[in-house]
Structure 1
Amino acid sequence: MASDAGLDLVEVSPNVEPPVCRIMDYGKWLYQQKRKAKQNQKSHHSTTQKELRLGPEIGENDKNVKVGHARKFLEKGHKVQFTMRFRGREMMHVDQGRELMVSVIESLSDIAKPDKEPKLIGRRMIVVLTPAKK
């Protein structure tokens, strides 16, 4: 019957009694399975977290370059973590570092929002930005 119809005879369940067979176009079925797998893989987008490091004494132009890199990462859908490390006597000027972090957050506020406020953990100040939903 399969050869008369120009199709393939495919054994679906060989371990049952009697074995189950199906008349179908096997090449077409394989193509559809590959296509389904490809579609499922497309819909799964993994987000990664990128880290950018700043210092409390960073210059304005250097800060703008870091913000530009962060903007590119956020447009691709990645999370961005800004880390500011305070060394030595820089710990006396944590407020200046916080102001710098706030200015970075404000400059990226059109495409990202912070998960939390900048937080000081030991000698590091950390803030994570996530892409804003459009």
Structure 2
Amino acid sequence: MKNRYSEKHIINEQIQYSKVRLIDIFGKQLGIYTSNEALQIAKQEGLDLILISDKSEPPVCKITDYGKYKFTQEKKAKEAKKKQHQSSIKEVKMRYKIEEHDYKVRINQALRFLQSGDKVKVTVIFKGREIQHSNLAIDLLNKMAKDLHSCCDIQQSPSRDGKNMIMILSPQKK
């Protein structure tokens, strides 16, 4: 008989263990049975036998409706995926001779990115011969790192990248 279910879960005749620990549809342990006995019990109730864990000795199987079981597993996976946050790199750009108010705006921008769990790439842009003032840019980036030290870690210290000076900050681990 061809199995109409997914290959993701081991169910019914696919379970090839000599003995299994059996759990009923309500979560109550029924005891240890042979695979064939457990399958017969499941079929008598019109349900499926699903391998829950093969890590224990003997493996754990549950009697339940496979369609409902698969649906609840997918729902749990979806919820877990929702709670994950994909960290991306946000960029904050400025010049080395930035005014105080503009600097505070960039600090707030970086703070907002870090609090939402994103990494921040802070870039100081040079034009023309301004690259000779790279020490001022390093001072500015170090000042920014010091101002944000309570909520971030320096992932990459200030370094030159072409005609720019960059530093990467990552949110602190909680």
TM category (shorter chain) comes to 0.7 to 0.9
Residue 62 and residue 29 in structure 1: after superposition, are their counterparts in 2 closer, same or farther (change >3 A)?
Answer: same
The corresponding residue for 2:7 is none
Give 1:98 shift: 1.2
CA distance in 2, matches of 1:100, 1:39: 42
Give 1:86 shift: 0.9
CA distance in 2, matches of 1:74, 1:27: 42
What is the TM-score normalised by the length of structure 2?
A: 0.60
Give secondary structure in 1 for the equivalent of 2:102: helix
1:126 paired to 2:166: yes
Q: How many residue pairs align between the two structures?
A: 121
Structure 2's unaligned 5+ residue stretches are 1-40, 50-62
CA distance in 1, matches of 2:112, 2:140: 20
Give 1:9 shift: 7.1
Structure 1's unaligned 5+ residue stretches are 11-22
Higher-RCO chain (CA-CA 8 Å, sequence separation at least 6): 1
Structure having the higher helix fraction is 1
| Superposed CA offset, 1:23-82 (max 9, x none) | 743553243123232244135431100011111111111011011011011011100000
CA distance in 1, matches of 2:137, 2:68: 61
Which residues in structure 2 correspond to 1:1-134 (within 5 Å)? 5=45, 7=46, 24-26=64-66, 28-42=68-82, 44-134=84-174
Aligned residues: CA RMSD: 2.5
Residue 119 and residue 31 in structure 1: after superposition, are their counterparts in 2 closer, same or farther (change >3 A)?
Answer: same
CA distance in 1, matches of 2:73, 2:144: 47
Give secondary structure in 1 for the equivalent of 2:106: helix
Look up the equivalent residue of 1:38 and give its one-letter code.
K
Look up the equivalent residue of 1:112 and give its one-letter code.
C
Give secondary structure in 2 for the equivalent of 1:118: strand
CA distance in 2, matches of 1:122, 1:27: 57
